[in-house]
Structure 1
Amino acid sequence: MEHKPLRLTNALVEVAAALVEKHEERHWGYELAKRTNVKPNALYGVLTRLHERDWLSDGWEEVPAEEKRPPRRYYQVTPLGLARLGALLAQASQDRRFARLYLRPGIAQ
């Protein structure tokens, strides 16, 4: 399936930086929202677009019955996603619109 190019937005760049920074971990929407200060409606839109491109995989956590809560959906960066998100961050680091964001040098490569 052919996708339109992703438009560089603050939400996309902030979520990409958070995902790449801890690319080996599972990420939950609530945790990403807290780390990035991206509003949930924008956050889940970004996650959906990244997942559709196979930059993220997803799954549902196992919840013991005694916890009596629904399982949370998690996202993980795929190898393709790590490469593409890194390229996206490198592009963003050259764009003055994102100058206020702290894009760590080791991330945007």
Structure 2
Amino acid sequence: MTLQTQAVLAVLLARETWGFELSKESGLPAGTIYPILQRLTTAGWVTSRWEQAEAAQAEGRPPRRYYALTTEGRARAINALTESARHRTRLTGLLSPEPGGEQA
């Protein structure tokens, strides 16, 4: 799983959000997040909905498309992010010099 996908999942674990906000929160450009959202939607991890037109019109903007994790997606995202954190911890341990050991 890419770091970019992990960033999208981390934001979606926190809350339902729309594309621009997801881009801002994850630090990823729209051209990166939308293909990720499409893959996650196809896999059944993410669902989307359009906000009511009246809400958008009241604010003078187009309707937003909101994205959220499905129940299965939430469970899988937690598992994937937990596993990725374990791998990072192991890798950090491998890259750190032993106490009292020599550095290469």
Give TM class, smaller chain: 0.7 to 0.9
Larger radius of gyration: 2
Q: Which residue of 2 aligns with 1:62?
A: 52
**Partners in 2 of 1:66 and 1:94 — Cα distance?**
46
Segments of 5+ residues of structure 2 without an aligned counterpart are 92-104
**Partners in 1 of 2:8 and 2:68 — Cα distance?**
12
More helix by share: 2
Segments of 5+ residues of structure 1 without an aligned counterpart are 1-7, 100-109
2:39 is aligned with 1:11: no
**How many residues align structurally?**
89
The residue correspondences of 1:1-109 to structure 2 (distance < 5 A) are 8-20=1-13, 22=14, 25-64=15-54, 65-96=57-88
**Partners in 2 of 1:60 and 1:42 — Cα distance?**
21
Q: Which amino acid aligns with 2:30?
A: P
Q: TM-score, normalised by structure 2?
A: 0.74
Determine what percentage of the aligned residue pairs are the same residue.
34
1:66 is displaced (CA, Å) by 4.8
**Partners in 2 of 1:35 and 1:68 — Cα distance?**
23
Q: TM-score, normalised by structure 1?
A: 0.71
